Amino acid sequence: MAAPITTPLTQALAEQRLTRDELRALMQRRNGPALLRLAIWLVLVTATGSLIWLARDSWLIWPAMFLHGIVLVHHFSLQHERVHYTVFRTRWLNDLVGNICGLIIILPHQFFRYEHCDHHTHTQITGDDPEMVPMPRSWGQYLWYLSAIPYWRTKITELARHAAGRLTPAERRFTPRSAEAVVIREARLMVGAYAILFALMTTGGWWAPLWFWLIPLALGEPVMRFIRMTEHVGRPTVAQMCDNTRTNIVSLPWRFLCWNMNFHAEHHYVASVPFHALPRLHEKLRGHVHVEPGGYVGAHRDIVNQLRGHG
């Protein structure tokens, strides 16, 4: 008989570093922490948006839009947590906020939920992980990914294709047949909403979305690409979570923006643990996960060293 598969989580349980009662406590979902964080988040979005307004007649509008864009693209972190239904105890709140975030960053929420579930099932497995970012083989590939151009090309093409009623064979592999109509309807509603907004901009001369949303989103997305690379890129393409995922130690502001998703290895071990409990899970799994103490910069240093052939 084959030996049972041992993961850092089961090892931690076996060593009594983490008891099952503690794990159940970590998995408890509450509305309070997320509502408080969301209130602070709305203040932050308003503040960075106000900087754009104050700098509207100056060249300073560009750094203001970049700063606002960094906050906007981190709506991905909010949406990601709501995909797992861990942010709020109330399920419809997760769906509501997730769909709003998806509309902001042009990422259909329901489709992302199915895609991301498959990512957790096949993390870092070439050909199976739908969200896998391959290790770049050249400086050109590295910089091209960081530009966010291939990301936007993929996502906009994907949205248009779904709105036209088409899913690729790879997408059908992780999208339940019963949900295909939902994915298509979602894409059509989003395209319709963007079309109405575009009509208001071009015919009514209402250009606020350009300055407070679209340009900041484009300016901020390379930062999100920089962060997303640190999660798995350059790690072994194997199924073992202790090898294929990084946890990055970052400062409090970045932890706030990413909703503690810098504790990414811990999240992959127990995806049902809410964002507010991930720091505690990190302490329990210390020594069982791959930790990058240099944070995002340290992770890219590792990627660059591998790119140079020194990894």
Hey, where are the domains in the chain? 18-135+206-307
> For residue 311, is pLDDT > 60?
no
d(CA 210, CA 198) in angstroms, rounded, equals 10
> For residue 142, is pLDDT > 70?
yes
> For residue 13, is pLDDT > 90?
no
DSSP one-letter string for 199-263:
HHHHHH---HHIIIIIHHHHHHHHHHHHHHHHHHTTS-SSS-HHHH--EE---HHHHHHTTTTT-
Residue range 205-259, pLDDT digits in tens: 899 999 999 999 999 999 999 999 999 999 999 998 889 999 999 999 999 999 9
Residue-level pLDDT at 4: 46
Instruction: Assign 19 a pLDDT band (cuts: 50, 70, 90).
Output: confident
Cβ neighbours around 36 below 10 Å, total: 11
Can you tell me the mean pLDDT for 276-283? 95
Residue-level pLDDT at 15: 55
Residue range 160-209, pLDDT digits in tens: 999 999 999 999 999 999 999 999 999 999 999 999 999 999 998 899 99
